[in-house]
A = this chain, B = another copy of it.
Amino acid sequence: MNDISFNSRDCGNCPIRHRAVCARCQPDELERLDAIKYYRTFEAGQPVIWSGDPMEFVSSVVSGIATLSQTMEDGRTQMVGLLLPSDFIGRPGRDAAPFDVVAVTDLTLCCFRKKPFEDMMERTPAIGTRLLQMTLDELDSAREWMLVLGRKTAREKIASLLAILARRDASLHMKPPRDGMSFELPLTRESMADYLGLTLETVSRQVSALKKSGVIELQGKRRVVIPNLQALITETGDDMDGAPIT
């Protein structure tokens, strides 16, 4: 077990070391009950877990993107989180998943079986502390998103989403966001709508509107160029010194 250790310098946001803690297991090792850590891959569009399902593992995103969402009986859905590399998925101490997790691109998770992970947490308090910090950050992000959902206009919502995606894309590549940067939209118009509490038509129209205003440029349908970061932030309606939404 001492090959599973916590090292906060290993990976900025993740309580688990990703690299070579133990050899990468093959997917079928999932079946081996004694496998403590293993990797799982999902194809774009595949569900990782449904709300209410028993969760026998905790994990963190190694590569790819997943969404966390809820759906009402009549089909209305709301995304409640976007899971990017280094994000943590799981609920130590809980049995059932509270939300649906779906891979939106090809996805690789680094999984720990829950019980051994909880044991490890108990022996290594730093993991719990790190997890608490990450959870508090997520809570703040969720609450900031509540302002977006509850009070912002469609245009501000789109700008807010693009600003977050820009920031996260930049931090993923370990460089600060800057004027002229560009990134690939990981979401369809429909997923963007589900994240923002809008319809896909409104998303399309507002993206076009921001483009026409020169706030963004589009290369194809999915690549977004941000000529002037401050202009984008102004469109979000936030104060410029706003807390960095992670």
Contacts and interface: CB of A to CB of B under 8 A. Distances in A.
A227 interface: no
Given A70-B147, A146-B146, A136 B94 contact: yes
Interface string A120-135: 0110010011011101
B151 A146 contact: no
B136 A136 contact: no
Interface residues of A, number: 44
A182 to B, nearest CB: 28
Contact of A80 (B70, B122, B133, B143): B143
A93 B135 CA distance: 12
B237 A133 contact: no
A145 B146 contact: yes
A94 B140 CA distance: 12
A184 interface: no
Contacts of A128: 125, 128-129, 132
A92 interface: yes
B78 A243 contact: no
Contacts of A129: 93, 121, 128
Given A149-B149, A197-B151, A81 B132 contact: no
Contacts of A99: 143
B143 A81 contact: yes
Interface in A44-61: none
A72 B160 CA distance: 13
Given A128-B125, A128-B128, A150 B197 contact: yes
